[in-house]
Structure 1
Amino acid sequence: MKYKYLFGPVPSRRLGLSLGIDLVPLKTCSFNCVYCECGATTALTVSRREYVPASRVIEELDDFLSGKPDLDFITFAGSGEPTLHSRIGDVISFVKNKFPQYRVCVLTNGSLFHLKSVRADLMRADKVIPSLDAASVSAWKKLNRPHGSLDLKKLINALEMFGKEYEGDYAVEVFIVPGVNDSTEELSRLKKALMKIKPSSVQLNSLVRPGTETSLRCASEASLKKIARFFAPLKAELAGAPGRKISPAFKKGLTHKILSAVSRRPLTLEDLAAVTGLRIVELTKIADALRSSGRVVFIKQGRKNFIKKAEKKLTRRKQSGKQII
């Protein structure tokens, strides 16, 4: 079966080997975050509906999971806000009913948690990670550029309400952008809000892959550790690789699966090596060929080079009358 709504498995710095589920069209979100690795939001909305057929997503999951793949998580994430899909709860329930051995995680901006239906939909997930990057309206709007109908105070109250109702692993992600939300004043406001929400942990993150705004700087590991100490007694930790040994995957249709993975988010050769089981030198040849054929581009972010699917389909260069790939 060719998968349209599943991607990966891909390596996640927080979740290990993760099978992704994309429930909304590309760049459909209630936020337009400056740091988003998927690029600028093109459909800014808070409207919940069945953006893609839930029955089709369930078919794909049934087919993929019946093969008993080695996974750490099944993750609702992808290229937009997953809780915009009105049947996310049905998809989660399908996994937990038929394949209870797999853990389900939802990565969300939390903007719709004020809706009782959204909170109810997520109750069967094993792990839920909403984000809260600022507790002042000015910093929130600068970082997240939310839909005009959203209200920060209402969002924070909804995150608190969800924490009281939810019995799974509840972590809140804070994305630090130097010069925007890392001042003592901003962090103090944020700590106060997080103390109210009472998550099991706070995950501190910063720019790793290229964001929407290329001028953004990455917070240093030292500064993130300092912020973690500042948030005490909250359990704050740096979002990073769990150190899991990932078994080889992507053996069949390797090129297609690499393209599928990098179309959702930019990945390094190291990321792809962890998933494919191939050596860097082998992946370098494949990546170079994909770049030559115009299907991927290379992006430098800090000291790392990322591979991203090309925005436009270019004419493939030919060699001896045959396509390179």
Structure 2
Amino acid sequence: MNRTDLEEPIAAASGPELNRRILARPHQAYDTAFGCPRNFLNNHFIYVVISARARGLSIGVNLNPDKHCNFHCAYCEVNFAEPPRETALDLAVLAEELDQTLVWVHTGKIAEHPFYHGLPVELLRLRQVNLSGDGEPTLCPQFVEALQTVVHVRARGRLPFFKLVLLTNGTALDQPQVQEGLKLFTRHDEVWVKLDGGTQAYLDKVNQPGCPIDHILANILLLARRRPVVIQSLFPMIGGEEPPEEEIEQYALRLKELKAAGAQIPLVQIYSATRPTANSECSHLLLKSLSRIAQTVRRKTGLTAEVF
């Protein structure tokens, strides 16, 4: 089978179908191209990943090389038993790595890399640059400075404009340094906030957030009244059990309440744990179950919900 045999079926797919076709492919780079390798070009802070939610290739900016996070999610793929490669950001190195990676992607040179060689061209086009990493990015002590660095790379205009996406659990959206950093976002940039359930008991089981769900919801509303916020919700199978139906009802109710209070929510992303997790009890929820959750969200809230 040659490259053109693979390109059209995968490039034409989206959402869960894209995930299915990607994961079904026998490809030597599965753990790299479709995971989150942190060693692309031997980088310290910049990585590349292909995912259905990004609808292709995204460049990740690891704001937490020290693995600092205030959630302890059951489905987390980060191995906290291993010491971090870096303990702090070097913004000069970050800028250089981002610039170099952007060049690799925009010139098509990335297709020559063994991680990505032979993949469809459509999957190797840059969709966004994610502020994310091995922890909670808004807890980065250099959050504002890191955003300034990334925005400066974009503003130089040497390469095509790229969209920024902050991936966050929402717990620090009310903090002054985070609000200051988000002032650098344009209307084209996005914030994706995690909400994995509708009750404190369920979040304590899945996320171990160490804070009340009301705090997370209040922070989502705080930001979503000012600018659109994408809700990203991961529903795993834990110990062979699906999320209870009553939990999904409460989750949909929380979304309905946010919308009624003035939250701008253009999209709710419903997905599951597609990559290997550190917790052996955690696994992927069946597509039919994810679809049922999305249907509940649409019916109860009127929001757009997509399954990935």
TM interval, shorter chain, is 0.5 to 0.7
Of 216, 230, 234, the residue aligned with 1:171 is 230
1:101 aligns with 2:149: no
Question: What aligned pairs does 1:26-37 form with structure 2 within 5 A after superposition?
Answer: 26-37=66-77
Q: Is the 8 A contact 2:242 2:285 kept in 1?
A: no
- Alpha-carbon distance, 1:26 to partner: 4.6
Q: Secondary structure at 1:234's aligned position in 2?
A: coil
Contact residue 227 and residue 264 of structure 2 kept, 8 A: no
Deviation at 1:2, TM superposition (A): 5.4
Contact 2:66 2:88 in 1 (8 A): no
Cα distance change, pair 238–184 in 1 and its aligned pair in 2 (3 A): same
Alignment gaps of 5+ in structure 1 = 44-49, 240-325
Cα deviations by residue, 1:6-30 (Å, 9 ceiling, x for unpaired):
112x212211111111121253211
TM (norm. structure 1) is 0.63
Whether 1:80 aligns to 2:174 is no
1:220 to 275, 286, 290: 286
Distance 2:80 2:195 in 1: 19
Fraction of identical pairs, as percent: 26
Contact in 2 for aligned 1:28/1:42 (Cα 8 Å): no
Aligned with residue 210 of structure 1, among 276, 279, 287: 276
Tell me the alpha carbon deviations over residues 178-198 of structure 1, each in whole angstroms, 9 at most, x when there is no partner: 467722321122112222144
Q: How far did 1:122 drift?
A: 2.8
**Offset from partner CA, 1:212-239 (integer Å, 9 cap, x none):** 2111232111111111111111211112
Aligned pairs (5 A) from 1:110-121: 110-121=170-181
Going from structure 1 to structure 2, the CA distance change for 1:152 and 1:175 (only over 3 Å counts) comes to same
Pick the structure with more helix per residue.
2
Give the match's secondary structure for 2:225. helix
CA distance in 1, matches of 2:150, 2:182: 8
- Aligned letter for 1:219? L
C-alpha change, 1:60 and 1:177, in structure 2 (3 Å) is: closer
Please give the secondary structure, in 1, of the residue aligned with 2:254.
helix
> Is 1:192 aligned with 2:253?
yes
User: How far apart are the structure 2 equivalents of 1:193 and 1:120?
Assistant: 27
Task: Find out whether 1:65 has 2:128 as its counterpart.
Answer: no
User: Cα RMSD (Å) of the superposition?
Assistant: 2.6
Query: Which amino acid in 1 is paired with 2:73?
Result: C
Tell me the matched-pair count.
Answer: 228
Residues 4 and 189 from structure 1, CA distance in 2 versus in 1: closer, same or farther, beyond 3 angstroms?
A: same
When Rg is computed on C-alpha atoms for both structures, the one with the higher figure is: 1
**Structure 2 residues without counterparts, runs of 5 or longer:** 1-40, 108-124
In structure 1, the residue matched to 2:89 is 52
